[in-house]
Amino acid sequence: MAKTFLIDYLPESASRYRDECAVVAVDVVRATTMAITAVATGRKCYPVDSLDAAFELAQTLRNPILAGEIDGEPNPQLEMGNSPAELARRLDTSRPLILLSTSGTSLIMNARGCAALYLACFRNSLSMGCRLINEQHPRIALLGAGSRGEFREEGPNLLRLDRGAACPRRLCRREQRNGHDPGPLVERPARGLPRQPEHRLSKKDGPAGGPALYSGEN
């Protein structure tokens, strides 16, 4: 299948691709890294786009953790900030995570209703590249969350991996060498990144129709 990759940034950009593309949301610092860390440790994660939405959702879940930041700063009404390292050290993985961030979770929520919604960060970049090539998505929008309305470098950098890892263009070349025609590809070049281990995610609908992330392939 011919695949076209489109690159954009900022939460509001999601509306331009929602109707005709699978969307990959990228907010390396730190929303998507936080969400993927949550599911990699077996914790359910529910992104929200406002403090009010976080409180409303918390009423429907059992003993959730409210985490994140507002305008890049910790909020005293949230139990913890948005540190993936801090989250990984916690042992209470049965508690679901409600995640709020200024740009990243807004991007995720704005992409609701697209053909498929994926989250990407350095932790799952290799498996995400393989997944995007193997899934039957003819048009894929790679969207960086940005920061305070501006472009941020690490989002587009995620589109390429060094040291033998996979990026969309390299994966297409590999498919072609194996006798498969990947079709045309459009992408913006980006600087190399270190190879990372694989993590897989799947998406289900959460309470009130919002996205919820779970580990595994269910």
| Contact between 44 and 36 (Cβ < 8 Å) | no
Distance between CA 129 and CA 175 in Å, rounded?
Answer: 13
DSSP strand pairing (97-100 vs 22-26): unpaired
Distance between CA 86 and CA 102 in Å, rounded?
Answer: 19
Q: Is 73 helix (H, G, I), strand (E, B) or coil?
A: strand
Pick the CATH number of 4-215 from 3.40.50.300, 3.40.50.720, 3.90.1560.10, 3.30.750.24: 3.90.1560.10
**Nearest to residue 27, comparing CAs of 82, 73, 65?**
82
Tens digit of each residue's pLDDT (9 = 90 or more) over 22-80: 999 998 888 999 999 999 999 999 999 999 999 999 999 999 999 999 988 999 999 99
Q: What pLDDT is attached to residue 206? A: 56
Binned average pLDDT, 10 residues per bin, the chain of 218 residues: 85 92 90 94 96 97 96 93 95 97 94 92 85 90 82 59 38 38 33 34 48 44
Q: Which helix (H) or strand (E) holds 201?
A: strand 201-205
Q: What pLDDT is attached to residue 153? A: 64
Cis (ω within 30 of 0) for the bond into 30? yes
Q: What pLDDT is attached to residue 155? A: 53
